[in-house]
Amino acid sequence: MSSYRIQGATGDWEVVIGLEVHAQVTSKAKLFSGASTEFGAEPNTQVSLVDAAMPGMLPVLNEECVRQAVRTGMALEAKINAWSRFDRKNYFYADLPQGYQISQLYHPIVGEGSIEIETEEGAKKVGIERIHIEQDAGKMMHDQHPSFSYVDLNRSGVALMEIVSKPDMRSPEEAGAYVRKLRSILRYVGSCDGNMEQGSMRADVNVSVRRPGEGFGTRCEIKNVNSVRFIQQAIEYEANRQVDLIEGGGSVVQETRLFDPDKGETRSLRSKEEAHDYRYFPDPDLLPLELAPEFLEECRRSLPELPDAKRRRYQEQLGLPDYNASVLTAEAETARWFEALIAEGALRQQRPEEQVAKAASNWLISDLFGALNRLGKSIEESPVTPAQGAELLALVADGTISGSLAKQVFEIMLETGDDPARIVEERGLKQTSDTGAIEKAIAEVMAANADKVAEYRGGKDKLFGFFVGQVMKAMGGKANPQVVNELLKKSLA
C-alpha cells in the first residue's frame, strides 16, 4: 500500500492512476505498408500509396510488428491471444489520411499480464490490462505557411503498441517507476527503442482520486505526455486539482485533458459529451490474425533474459549486492557492457566470473558511470571498451598498479583511448614492490621528519598516515601501498 496521500482540507485522498503507453514498434517497415520507419527523414519521403490512402489501396500486415508485440506480451508474462482481429477507429483529421485508424478494440493480440516495480514500500505488481497494435497518424506542421497547415505523413502507418495498465498505481513515483520499468523491458526485448524525446514512447495518463479504501472516483485522461518527469508532474497537478474541486463542492467531470509542461498544469481538451464516436468495426480489408503454435514458440525462444531474472542472477550467482545488481540491470545496454566486462575480466585474470564480478561492478558504477556522467555520454558511447576496462581491473588485481594509480590511468584512457597496459608501460606508472627502494625512501622521510618520528613513537598513532603519504610521494605514487605499510611499521617500531 502506498502511503502517498493528497492532504486535503477535509482529510486525506488517495490517487488512482492507470497508464496507456503508446510504444513505437521497432521494425524497418510500417504496420501495413512497406514504407520505411526511419526517424528524421525529410517530410513525406517515407509514404507509400497505402499510407497516403490512395483510392483502392489495401493494408497488408507486417509480420515483424506482430512478432514484436507477441514478444513484448511474453516479456510481460501476459496472455497471448492466438486469435485477434483488427478494427477501424473512424474519425476525420488531416493527419489521418484513411479517415480511420486500424487498431484492435474488440480482440487485442495480448491480454492480461503484469510488471513488477520497486516502491518505497517494497516490490509491487502493476497489472497489464491488454496490449494491442495500431497505426500511428501523420504529423501536422502549423508553422510552414501563414494560413495553411501542412501534414507530414512519414509517421502515418507506423506500428504502435498500446500497452494499457490496470488502475493499479497510487502515487506519481509509482507511475514513474512503472514507465521506467516498462521502458527497460521494451528495450531488453528490442520491441521499442523507448526514446521518449523522439516520440517513440508516450503515455495517456488516467487520474482519479478517492478516500482511501473507497470505490474509484471519476477519472480524467491526460493525453500524450512524453517524459517520466512530465507524467509525474501531470499526476500531481491533476490529483490536487481534483481534490480542490471536490472539496470546493464541485465534482470531477470525465474528460480528456492536456498537460502544459511550461506551466506545469493540465487543462481541458474535450468533455465526454464532445468525445468522438469512433464507430469501431472489424476492418473488412484484413483477415483475423491467427498465430500458429510454432510462431509463438519461435517468439518465446527469441526472448532475452529479462531485467528481473538478470538481477536475481547477479545477486545469486555473481554475489553482487542488491544495489549493484539493480543498477546494472536497469538498462539492457548497461547489463550488456557489464557482462562483456566480467567475461573479459575472468579470461584475463584466469578466475571464474563470480570472483571478478564484485570489483568490476563497483568500478563500473562509480568510476565508469562517474566519467560518463561528466562527459555527458551514454554507456554505448563510452570511450573505453569493456575489454579495456577488464584490462585495467586485471592490472589492479595482480598488483601491477594500485587503486589510486588505476584512477589516474583511467583518466588517461578516457582522454586518449589507449589500452591501460600501454599507458602504464609508457608512462612508467607500474607499481613497485622493490623493498630496497622503498626502505631507502622510508629512511629519507624519517630523517627529514625526526620530530614527527619522535611524536609517533611517543604514542601519536595518527601520524602513521602522514608517513605513508610522504613515502608514497617520494616514490612518485608507484610504491605498492601494502609493502609501504609493512616496512613503515617495522621502521617506526
What is d(CA 79, CA 94) in angstroms, rounded to the nearest whole number?
A: 36
Q: Using the rule CB under 8 A, give the single segment among 55-63, 75-83, 310-318, 402-410 that binds other proteins.
A: 55-63
Residues linked to residue 114 through DSSP beta bridges, in sequence order: 127
Q: Which is nearer to other proteins, 27 or 101 (CB)?
A: 101
* HSE-up (13 A, CA, CB side) for residue 380: 3
Instruction: List, in sequence order, every residue forming a beta bridge with 89; answer none if it has no partner.
Output: 101
Identify whether the C-beta of residue 307 lies closer than 8 Å to the C-beta of residue 345.
no
Q: What is the Cα–Cα distance from 390 to 360, expressed in whole angstroms? A: 8
Percent helix / strand / coil, the chain, rounded to 5: 40, 20, 40
**Least distance to other proteins from the beta carbon of 286, Å?**
5
Task: Pick the binder of other proteins from 61, 105, 359, 397 (CB under 8 A).
Answer: 61
Is 88 a binding residue for other proteins by CB under 8 A? The answer is yes
Quick one: which segment of 86-94, 122-130, 252-260, 426-434 binds other proteins (CB under 8 A)?
Answer: 86-94
Q: Does 194 bind other proteins (CB under 8 A)?
A: no
- Angle subtended at Cα 192 by Cα 291 and Cα 79, rounded to the nearest 5 degrees: 35
Closer Cβ to other proteins, 99 or 403, answer by number: 99
54 binds other proteins (CB under 8 A): yes
> Which position among 36, 39, 53, 407 is part of the footprint of other proteins (CB under 8 A)?
53
Nearer residue to other proteins within complex by CB, 59 or 73: 59
State the angle between helix axes of 435-448 and 450-457 in degrees (0 to 180), rounded to the nearest 10: 90
Nearer Cβ to other proteins, position 260 or 285?
285
User: Which DSSP category does 44 fall into?
Assistant: T
| Cα–Cα distance list, 326 to 290, 312, 373, 486 (Å) | 38, 9, 18, 38
Site for other proteins in 144-163 (CB under 8 A): 149, 151
Binding of other proteins at residue 83 (CB under 8 A)? no
Nearer to other proteins by Cβ, of 49 and 309: the residue is 49
Interface with other proteins (CB under 8 A), residue total: 30
DSSP assignment of 369-401: HHHHHHHT--GGG-SS-HHHHHHHHHHHHTTSS
Residues of this chain, 261-320, that bind other proteins according to CB under 8 A: 277, 279-281, 284-287
Kindly tell me which of 54 and 375 has the beta carbon lying closer to other proteins: 54
Q: Does 248 contact other proteins by CB under 8 A?
A: no
Window contacting other proteins (CB under 8 A); options: 57-65, 68-76, 120-128, 430-438: 57-65
* CB closer to other proteins, 86 vs 237: 86
Residue 217 C-alpha cell reads as 472516483
DSSP of 266-307: EEEEEETTT------EE-TTS--EE--HHHHHHHHHT----H
Q: Which is nearer to other proteins, 88 or 183 (CB)?
A: 88
256 binds other proteins (CB under 8 A): no
**Shortest approach of other proteins to residue 271 CB, angstroms?**
15
In the numeric block, which cell numbers belong to residue 154? 512519414
CA atoms of 122 and 411, how far apart (whole Å): 38
Please say whether the beta carbons of 215 and 243 come within 8 A: no
Give the nearer residue to other proteins in terms of CB position, either 135 or 266.
135
Region near other proteins per CB under 8 A, out of 48-56, 321-329, 401-409, 456-464: 48-56
Q: How far is CA 318 from CA 113, 324, 353, 412, in A?
A: 29, 11, 7, 30
Task: Tell the smallest beta-carbon distance from residue 104 to other proteins (Å).
Answer: 15
Return the number of the residue (125 or 279) whose C-beta is nearest other proteins: 279
Q: Assess 52 for contact with other proteins (CB under 8 A).
A: yes
Q: Site for other proteins (CB under 8 A): which residue of 3, 38, 63, 93? A: 93
CA 145, 151, 154, 155 torsion: positive or negative? positive
Q: Which strand (E) or helix (H) includes residue 489?
A: helix 481-492
Tell me which of 40, 55, 213, 293 binds other proteins, using CB under 8 A: 55
Residues 20, 36, 39, 57: which binds other proteins (CB under 8 A)? 57
From the list 392, 430, 396, 386, the residue with the least C-alpha distance to 411 is 392
- 216 vs 281 by CB, closer to other proteins: 281
CB of 45 to other proteins, least distance (A): 16
Q: Which of residues 94-123 bind other proteins (CB under 8 A)?
A: 94, 97-100
Residues that bind other proteins (CB under 8 A): 49, 52-61, 88, 90, 92-94, 97-100, 149, 151, 277, 279-281, 284-287
